[in-house]
Structure 1
């Protein structure tokens, strides 16, 4: 097969080129019987400049028009000219690449883009049968063995394996988009399985619903599991519990949580907060004798400090009385009673056990060495340690979710940024349910904007420092335009919402837009694979992962027919709700 080339016989000929523009061609189908064997999405080959060169296109429209014509050759004796039917068949196709049977010293090459425009009257052929099999296999053969990411098989030819270029898929960010129930979670699980087979994969999954926990269980586990500590984990006894202590938040992130920008005293509150936090971090550095850090640290540097001491300092400002001029008596200080509401909001966050992972961490989380130890776990990637880390965010309150994801993403990026370039090990962050914390900027609240800043920086600059994003969402219309526009690869499953389809179409070149018309018709597990990682934008059937995530849709009708509710289910759930601990 490797030495075979596309070989078209007369019965594969469709017709000839009649119209050409920059990216599309119109073919007049002269072999009318061929109209029953072609369909939208099929591939065609147009004869190029030489006998060994073909321009490859995807059919996006098939039309047949019937019109009346004068049959001049059948004029009757009375001089009447009868009418007959005229059948005109046309194919409209978008040009996607160039195939060469011989290309210098190479043979059987395909590259994206047309080397030249097709000429009028050039023959056009339907790529089918053995030619289709050869061509689809050629797409996979173009990917080097060590770069192969096997995803399933091509719908155009089920014998041909759909292989993407793994380097290109992750280098410039990617997105998996699809309506609920279309197979997004299975797609993520499949990609994680493929990555787990590598020597030192390094991926972190932001798991919003805890559905990827199955990948961390049993002897065939492929990932390590962590979870953001819930109210029942605050003693720190569970090694899987992950804390994000308040001192990891930078100034803007902390203020987004506790500062009311509409408060007349907001500028004063922000100023005192900033001054005291910097002073407390300086105290820590002096205590740790970190003189080198003392010279260059900023208020945003991740240095532990005591939030109780911060409150004490703010309370002192808020109630301070200062001597009057002339020394007779006292008067209210410059911050008197201006920090009360700010302190109240801070105390409310500190006392909220749902936010205990941030404001009530174990004592060891406030040590200077803790951050290094925590990040070393998240960056672990070796044959002895599973390099895929799944972080369960399911117990994080929705109002602080954007801040928490943003802080983690910012930390991961900053570590790569400040790491010696020869020591960097590539890292991909998988953003599950991205619409929950990466909204369109125009509709984002203060906390969400802080998260967007972190992720948008990764989207724009992460490639330089070995950090990429894999964005997963059922509502692409609700996801940051900046982040999606930086994605160069898309695995798009069924999308039924017009707004979501429009977002995908806007992200693609104009010549590719027609391919997306099939999105609402895709079956479960079918997807369009588009982007740098594959030469041909194509429809594929995704392989099933060996370990399925816990994302299967409940079978309502079947469960109603065959199961009864468990007797203690409600009482157990009520107590879990009260304890704020999920089983």
Structure 2
């Protein structure tokens, strides 16, 4: 009965020709347990299309009459390991049982897939290539909001869909070795996500400055040249990370900052009250996101140096003062200590970074390649912390996705490495963010070096080619359903291919991502004209050094005795330095950072 019904179908996938020998097309169950089955079938040298139906990674169907069991081929073998040419060769096909397909209530209704198995195959049950309708039923998302990101590797006529809401809200990870197309998959996923979810805002932590070119119509770019992130938004640990250039801060200097930063904030809010600190519910703490002035902090350190009882801590006070002055005057830290950031600019800063209002550009590409390496951890910590706090205090109205490219940099598996506040901020999003609308996207080439706590919070995975055995084992341990064997060929899947599993898909799915236009590939701006400048072998070393120094070029000075246009240098006969107005230290500092000297008064000689 089954064979007659299949033969009468207009688009039968079990046979190319009704007259073909069943043994060359179908197999039969010869062994079965609760999770796997073995199929006895035949293969021959001249029948590659039919033999190919049993290839590893393909879905097959086992007919039980009222239902069909879906299995995935994970191994093929010839028992005697001998191949006979021009003859049929018996083979064993090992499949992993995935679920069960049942016909709809009416002939026109679509089949329904269930990941559980009510009736297991009996010995002799017929196995064959799965029908297209059944394959679609296997990956059907049952009314959930979906986006199409590619096609199935087994059948390119069938779209590969994911449930975008579940993928985002339960966090996701894209893993794969270098060069397999992770960044392309990310840009494709983001394009589809912001189209399907107009309320979604995305912040990309982009260490290689490559996503802006891939999302030109959706994103704004923030880099070291236009970033405004006031120093007073940094918490104590984050601020100390900047001051001490990534090294561990001495406890005595940290304690001084803990005492004096609240005093500087109080002085900013009420200049006439001095450094008096209020106690109670409205008192300021070191981590309160309230503006203060670096000049105030320096002034308070000077006052403490002058106190008789501070004799023992004077070396620490002087060292801390020197560090603060060096950081504040370093051009590389201009994004923190710019003079206009002294005022309360938190609304402008947060609105620009997190796209409030959106203005039709919901994505922010935060390019970190130009930032000093010693401040990257602190900046990432501030941004991750702000993202979570904004989602919490917006009471769910603000939907934010924080996408971490090269995530193992910020959340290494070794707790002794990395920056603890960054790890804590990202871990908080991973554990609690879904309740408030703050989502996390992880992109990494080394999942084995990523904090397993963070990885375990991701409910949807897109696993691309992974060569490292430890990395493969980490991903295998994350898969929860019965299709673990789909990951056995992670080391050999093709370019742009991925194995998707988790909450965002109906069942484990091998797919091929859509191909993007070459102009929209990540990093296309850098590679658009690789031969630019190759025509001239000369290198402008002076221009390179000027960019390296990142300081304004000094203007030439002229002596009144010299003709216009001629400047003497130090050491030349008749050279003299022009007279400069002498500034007291506080006045010099205040003028350099755009502060009014009258705000704090001038320090007297001998102080």
TM-score bin, normalised by smaller chain: 0.7 to 0.9
CA deviation map 1:306-332 (0-9, x unaligned): 12221222233245214xxxxxxxxx5
Alpha-carbon distance between aligned partners in 1 of 2:172 and 2:272, rounded to the nearest angstrom: 42
Structure 2 counterpart of 1:491: 462
Distance 1:260 1:371, change over 3 A: closer
Structure 1 counterpart of 2:94: 92
Q: Report the secondary structure of 1:339's partner residue.
A: helix
CA deviation map 1:252-284 (0-9, x unaligned): 222344469999x93332222112112222333
Check if 1:482 corresponds to 2:458: no
Q: Is the 8 A contact 1:30 1:89 kept in 2?
A: yes
Match of 2:231 among 243, 246, 268: 246
Q: Report the secondary structure of 2:371's partner residue.
A: coil
Structure 2 counterpart of 1:201: 200
Check if 1:437 corresponds to 2:410: yes
Q: Is the 8 A contact 1:402 1:438 kept in 2?
A: no
Structure 2 counterpart of 1:283: 267
Alpha-carbon distance between aligned partners in 1 of 2:388 and 2:541, rounded to the nearest angstrom: 44
Q: Is the 8 A contact 1:280 1:305 kept in 2?
A: yes
Alpha-carbon distance between aligned partners in 2 of 1:15 and 1:182, rounded to the nearest angstrom: 38
Alpha-carbon distance between aligned partners in 1 of 2:285 and 2:12, rounded to the nearest angstrom: 64
Alignment RMSD, CA only? Answer: 3.8
Q: Report the secondary structure of 2:165's partner residue.
A: helix
Structure 2 counterpart of 1:41: 57
Match of 2:67 among 53, 61, 64: 53
Q: Is the 8 A contact 2:264 2:300 kept in 1?
A: no
Q: Report the secondary structure of 1:566's partner residue.
A: coil
Check if 1:19 corresponds to 2:17: no
Alpha-carbon distance between aligned partners in 2 of 1:20 and 1:299, rounded to the nearest angstrom: 62
CA-CA distance at 1:453 after TM superposition: 0.6
CA-CA distance at 1:98 after TM superposition: 2.5
Structure 2 unpaired stretches of 5+: 1-8, 16-21, 45-49, 83-87, 552-607
CA deviation map 1:505-551 (0-9, x unaligned): 23223844322222222222122222211113122111123452343
Structure 1 unpaired stretches of 5+: 69-85, 234-240, 323-331
RCO higher in 1 or 2 (8 Å CA, sep ≥ 6)?
1
CA deviation map 1:173-225 (0-9, x unaligned): 111112221111211221222234343431111121211222454xxx22222
Q: Report the secondary structure of 2:262's partner residue.
A: helix
Q: Is the 8 A contact 1:26 1:90 kept in 2?
A: no
Larger CA deviation: 411-420 vs 254-263:
254-263
Structure 1 counterpart of 2:601: none
Q: Is the 8 A contact 2:69 2:121 kept in 1?
A: no
Q: Is the 8 A contact 2:149 2:514 kept in 1?
A: yes
Q: Name which one, 1 or 2, has greater alpha-carbon Rg.
A: 2
Higher strand share: 1
Structure 2 counterpart of 1:574: 544
Q: TM-score, with normalisation over the residues of structure 2? A: 0.76
Q: Is the 8 A contact 1:53 1:99 kept in 2?
A: yes
Structure 2 counterpart of 1:548: 520
Match of 2:324 among 331, 346, 351: 346
Match of 1:401 among 376, 392, 404: 376
Q: Is the 8 A contact 1:46 1:124 kept in 2?
A: yes
Alignment of 1:19-168 (within 5 A): 19-21=32-34, 24-30=35-41, 37-47=53-63, 51-66=65-80, 89-102=91-104, 107-111=109-113, 113-116=115-118, 118-121=120-123, 123-128=125-130, 131=131, 133-139=132-138, 141-142=140-141, 144=143, 147-168=145-166
Q: How many residues align?
A: 521
Alpha-carbon distance between aligned partners in 2 of 1:579 and 1:337, rounded to the nearest angstrom: 30
Q: Is the 8 A contact 2:39 2:94 kept in 1?
A: no
Distance 1:339 1:262, change over 3 A: farther
Alpha-carbon distance between aligned partners in 2 of 1:104 and 1:259, rounded to the nearest angstrom: 72
Q: TM-score, with normalisation over the residues of structure 1? A: 0.79
Q: Is the 8 A contact 1:440 1:481 kept in 2?
A: yes
